[in-house]
Amino acid sequence: MTRMARDEQNQADSDIDVEILEDDDSLDLSEEGLREAEELGDLSLMMTGGVSSDLVGSDPLSAYLARLSHIAPLPAEEQQKLAERYKNDEDANAAKMLIITNLRLVVKIAREYQRRWTNLLDLIQEGNVGLAEAVTRYDPYRGVKFTSYAQYWIRAMILNYLMNHLHPVRIGSSRAGRKLFYNLKKARRELIRRGEEPTPALIAEYLDVDEAEVVRVAQQLDSPPVYMDQTAPGLDKTTIGELMADESAEDPEEWAANREMGSQIGAAIKAFGESLDDEREQAIWTQRMIAEDPRSLVELGDEFGVSKERIRQVEVQIRERFKKYLLSNLGDDVRINFLESQ
């Protein structure tokens, strides 16, 4: 399929808006039930309506995506109500609805990693388990949208799958293996910071694991598959290896809240920039204040025929205006490094 065809298909998927049908089946949210939900067939049974085999042929992925086309996404406030019902009353039907109406989110995220794993269905299955895990863990009273929270667990499950299947030798699913994979580089940095040589013995002591395990995992991670050093899609400069989640990782609510805030700040930066009518202010904002490679005060001063001190004064004024803009739109907790400088 060409890129244009894929884009058209993605757009068609996003335009579908039909109602989900009633279904009285309850969702098994036990540990065993979540594992069983890993199978696409079981997840498909959760979805109402049917898809004619004449329409999708014998391709399981096409059949699954066709089923998703019959599900309408829910507004955030409706998802919030469902999450509260499950949290307060252990309403399995509410949990089921929350999962079903977010299955497209899993597909969207899984597609981001498809270049690393050609079988999209494998990634979707893992992501679906992550979605179900998110439902069981989500606290609707923490001030984070469910979709933001769910992304953490969807990505974690997909990345864990890639971790175990893209390495020539599986690191393993044991607690010790995961702990080493997630924390080996962190342990090395900490030992170096202390002025100690990060030998396998010291790393093993620091992480409370066997030295032989440190050697085995280190040999794999020191020559990792390419994907480990790749930036995780949609996560700025975070690498896939750094994103892996375990007991010591960032709290999912905090991760989701930070992503939401980052998205809001990004939108605010764009909106504020578009509100600047003065050409000189626009240049200072785009070419210096938010630029990755900012121009100097002298360069901008020469361009507009003013002193570098005048450019600096205008920059300070813009910074103060933007700070007020953020505070009025996003609240008192907003912090951006360049607003705190000088």
**Which has more pLDDT, 73 or 17?**
73
Report residue 194 as tokens. 């202390």
The amino acid present at 311, given as its one-letter code, is I
Say whether pLDDT at 87 is over 80. yes
Residue 251 has pLDDT above 50, yes or no: yes
Residue 291 above 60 pLDDT? yes
* Residues forming beta bridges with residue 231, ordered by sequence position: 239
Residue 220 confidence (pLDDT): 57
Contact present, 246 and 182 (Cβ < 8 Å) = yes
Distance, in Å, from the CA atom of 147 to the CA atom of 84, rounded to the nearest integer, reads 14
Task: With CA atoms as reference, report the closest residue to 216 among 249, 184, 248.
Answer: 184
Which pLDDT band holds residue 2 (cuts at 50, 70, 90)? very low
Supply the DSSP string of 206-226, one letter for each residue. Answer: HHTS-HHHHHHHHHHHTS--G
DSSP 129-181: HHHHHHHHH--TTSS--HHHHHHHHHHHHHHHHHHHHHSSS---SSHHHHHHH
The structure's pTM equals 0.45
Question: How confident is residue 102, by pLDDT bands cut at 50, 70 and 90?
Answer: very high
Distance of CA 233 to the CA centre of its chain: 8
Asked whether residue 41 carries a pLDDT value surpassing 50, the answer given is: no
Instruction: Over range 204-231, report the average pLDDT.
Output: 64
Which helix (H) or strand (E) segment holds residue 87: the answer is helix 76-89
